[in-house]
Amino acid sequence: MPKLNTALITGSSEGIGRSFAEVYAKNGHDLVLVARNAAKLEEFAQQLTEKYAVKVTVLAADLIPVDAPQQLFAALTEQAIQIDILVNNAGMMQVEKLSESDPHTLNNLIQLNVQSLVNMTQAFVQPMIERGQGKIVNVGSIASFMPTPNFAAYGASKAFVLSFSEGIAEELRGTGVSVTCVCPGMTETKMLSHADGMEKFIPKFLKADPMELASQAYKASKKGEVVFLDKIANKLLVQWASHYPRWIVRGVNGLFSRFK
């Protein structure tokens, strides 16, 4: 059994979160799976238990309500389940101009991608600090590094995730708790296929396989890397965005958004 035994993974019914769950199970970790679709999680939990002989607990929850993180924490405390690794992966994207966006959907995006991630981290990190060990994995994006016209709120939410993760990584230095911000590029999941036709403009070689991404991210978290980018193309894009003046990066992204 690994020293850090149990991993809680949000958004683990689909896509990258599901792949994270598979990778952690493969490495012998017990799991707590969180997403809204209880039936999908239960079925997946059974598959993981049979395949990897790990203990899998399902907690179906919508993470948008403000009190969801505290309720999850309380439910796990009641079941005497200690979380050693927290993977804040659940997220949503809305590809639309701000002027055309539904305000309710926008609020949900900010609530899920930003506030619930902060509240989950705050709820679960304290016991990790007290035990002197633990890992937090926050899922950002390459959008964390640049503005994203036509889905500006999504990009801004992911910039928040990166900044927050780096900030707490330093705060937690010396406590035994590490923080890794995983910043994927285009990854073949439902989110990408629902992204308003964006997928068809992206060449195959730029798209990551979620299992491959999750395996590499698992290793990065194990090594205590603070910021993790997967593909060479993503690393080059981030290098470009970090070294050119903001007005150039903003302008080029604006041009691409109009081209679509």
Ligand X SMILES: NC(=O)c1ccc[n+]([C@@H]2O[C@H](COP(=O)([O-])OP(=O)(O)OC[C@H]3O[C@@H](n4cnc5c(N)ncnc54)[C@H](OP(=O)(O)O)[C@@H]3O)[C@@H](O)[C@H]2O)c1
Q: Give CA separation, 34 vs 18, 38, 50, 118, 138, in Å.
A: 10, 9, 19, 16, 15
Q: By C-beta, is 63 or 125 nearer to ligand X?
A: 63
Report the nearest approach of ligand X to the CB of residue 85 (Å). 16
Q: CB-wise, 172 or 191, nearer to ligand X?
A: 191
**CB-count exposure of residue 102 (10 Å: 0-12, 13-18, 19+):** exposed
**Whole-number minimum distance, CB 75 to ligand X, in Å?**
14
Known active-site residue 244: no
Nearer to ligand X, 8 or 186 (CB): 186
Catalytic residue among 52, 154, 218, 244: 154
CB of 219 to ligand X, least distance (A): 18
* Type of residue numbered 158: K
Q: Where are the alpha helices (DSSP H) in the chain?
A: 15-26, 38-52, 68-78, 103-110, 116-131, 152-171, 190-193, 210-223, 232-243, 246-259
Distance between CA atoms of residues 100 and 102, nearest Å: 7
How far CA 119 is from CA of 114, 235, 240, in Å, comes to 9, 29, 32
Question: Can you give the binding site for ligand X, defined by CB under 6 A?
Answer: 10-17, 35-37, 62-64, 89-93, 112, 139, 141, 184, 186-187, 189-192
Q: In what order do the strands lie in the sheet with 177-182?
A: 56-60, 30-35, 6-10, 85-88, 134-139, 177-182, 227-228
In the complex, the smallest distance separating the C-beta of residue 103 from ligand X, rounded to whole angstroms, is 17
Q: Is residue 101 exposed (0-12), middle (13-18) or buried (19+ Cβ within 10 Å)?
A: middle
Residue 22 burial by Cβ neighbours in a 10 Å radius (0-12, 13-18, 19+)? buried
- Output 4 or 214, the one with its CB closest to ligand X: 214
* Residue 60, strand partner residues: 35
Longest dimension (CA), the chain: 53
Beta carbon nearer to ligand X, 43 or 130: 43
Q: Between residues 107 and 129, which has the closer beta carbon with respect to ligand X?
A: 107
The residue type at 259 = F
Minimal distance, residue 133 CB to ligand X, in Å: 25
Residues noted as catalytic: 154
